Amino acid sequence: MKVQEKSDRLIISEQSDFEPKHIFECGQAFRWEKELDNSYTIVANKRVINVSKLNDEIIIKNSNKEDFNEIWKDYFDIDTDYSQIKSKLNNDDIMKKAIEFGTGIRILNQQEYEMIISFIISANNRIPMIKKVISNLSKKFGDFIQEYNSKKYYSFPSIERLANADVEKVAECKAGFRSERIILASQKIIQDKDIVYNLKSKTYDEGLEYLKTYKGIGDKVANCILLFSMKQFATFPVDVWVRRVMQTLYVPNTAKDLEIRKFAENKFKDLSGYAQQYLFFYARENDIGK
């Protein structure tokens, strides 16, 4: 990988397995907007960046080399070799197709708190609506970051702001019945911050058990949090899409979510999380099982 700083942009070259559309639209992140020029504007880590790809070069606007090295390199999981992951997973026809379709997916390293709240909001909700609720919460409770391309951007709210928020104000953001859960979770995170911010060093089972003590976090949401912000890649979150694609292609359609998760975790081992992302993106983009 090579990084060059040129006037208003960073140009990343010699970087394989990086496809902005696949990275952002595979369901792991909610704070992105697709622009008219097919680039993606992202809010993360209290910053706004614009990412696109032209030929084999990745272009990052509104950033600098220092931020890239200190923040975005880790965020985009640049040090992970995805060609190795893909070749290991590539041992049946279904995965082969899914990987080919979703080539360039990377699992982002996102912040624990943001993932906990985001996936509490995801329960029984649609992705566009989840994005809207998070955007509303950020506007109401986050900090103004900057104006970029004549749009205003706000950071994800701090834990304290949401912990002290009124339920009515959170509900105004269209969070519905999840409003109370958002506030309760924020309060619990403040109380348990020594535990929450050390979950990465705990085992998968310990993390799962702990997260499920939150109101609004069940098996699926807990596994998403572990996968997207705590580097637990041996997990296979099962949602409606993954259930459908698995029941269509791998298991009997009577299989329950927990059985599906265990089946996949046994099959894909420590690469289960990556397999899940390829299958989710493949299923959703192609309406498989629907």
| 67 vs 285 by CB, closer to DNA | 285
The tokens for 63 are 């950033």
The least CB distance from residue 218 to DNA, in Å, is 2
DSSP code per residue over 96-159: HHHHHHTTT-------HHHHHHHHHHTTT--HHHHHHHHHHHHHHHS-EEEEETTEEEEPPPPH
Of 63 and 181, nearer to DNA (C-beta) is 181
128 vs 252, which CB is nearer to DNA?
128
Exactly one of 145, 171, 195, 255 binds DNA (CB under 7 A); which one?
171
Task: Tell me the C-alpha to C-alpha distance, in Å, between residue 109 and each of 77, 81, 147, 217.
Answer: 7, 15, 25, 20
Binder of DNA out of 7, 55, 83, 124 (CB under 7 A):
124
What angle is formed at CA 191 by the lines to CA 179 and CA 135, rounded to 5 degrees?
35
Among 83, 126, 205, 252, binds DNA (CB under 7 A): 126
d(CA 242, CA 187): 32
Output the smallest distance, CB 172 to DNA, in A. 8
One residue of 239, 274, 275, 278 binding DNA per CB under 7 A: 239
Indicate whether 185 belongs to the interface with DNA (CB under 7 A): no
254 interacts with DNA by CB under 7 A: no
Binding of DNA by 199 (CB under 7 A): no
Residue 272 as a binder of DNA (CB under 7 A): the answer is no
Q: For residues 21-50, which are near DNA according to CB under 7 A?
A: 26-28
C-alpha distances (whole Å) from 98 to each of 20, 171, 227, 270 are 17, 38, 19, 18
Residue written as token pair 């103004």: 144
216 binds DNA (CB under 7 A): yes
Q: Which two tokens mark 209?
A: 């058990």
Q: Which of 219, 259, 270, 285 binds DNA (CB under 7 A)?
A: 219
Is 241 near DNA (CB under 7 A)? yes
Q: How many CA atoms lie within 13 A of 26 on its CB side?
A: 28
3-state helix, strand, coil in the chain (%, to 5): 50, 15, 35
Nearest-angstrom CA–CA distance, 176 and 89: 39
Smallest separation, CB 72 to DNA (Å): 20
β-pairing, 32-34 vs 40-44, is: antiparallel
Q: Kindly state whether residue 144 participates in binding DNA, applying the rule CB under 7 A.
A: no
* Phi-psi map region of 215: left, alpha, beta (phi>0 left; psi -120 to 50 alpha): beta
Among 153, 214, 233, 268, binds DNA (CB under 7 A): 214
Indicate whether 104 belongs to the interface with DNA (CB under 7 A): no
Report helix, strand or coil for 230. coil
Helix, coil or strand: residue 202 = coil
Q: Is 2 in the site for DNA (CB under 7 A)?
A: no
Closer to DNA at the Cβ: 60 or 217? 217
Q: Which is closer to DNA, CB of 153 or CB of 241?
A: 241
Q: Does 252 bind DNA (CB under 7 A)?
A: no
Phi first, then psi: give them for residue 185, nearest 5 degrees: -65, -40
128 binds DNA (CB under 7 A): yes
Q: Which residues bind DNA (CB under 7 A)?
A: 26-28, 122-130, 171, 174, 176-177, 212, 214-222, 224, 237, 239-242, 256, 276-277, 280
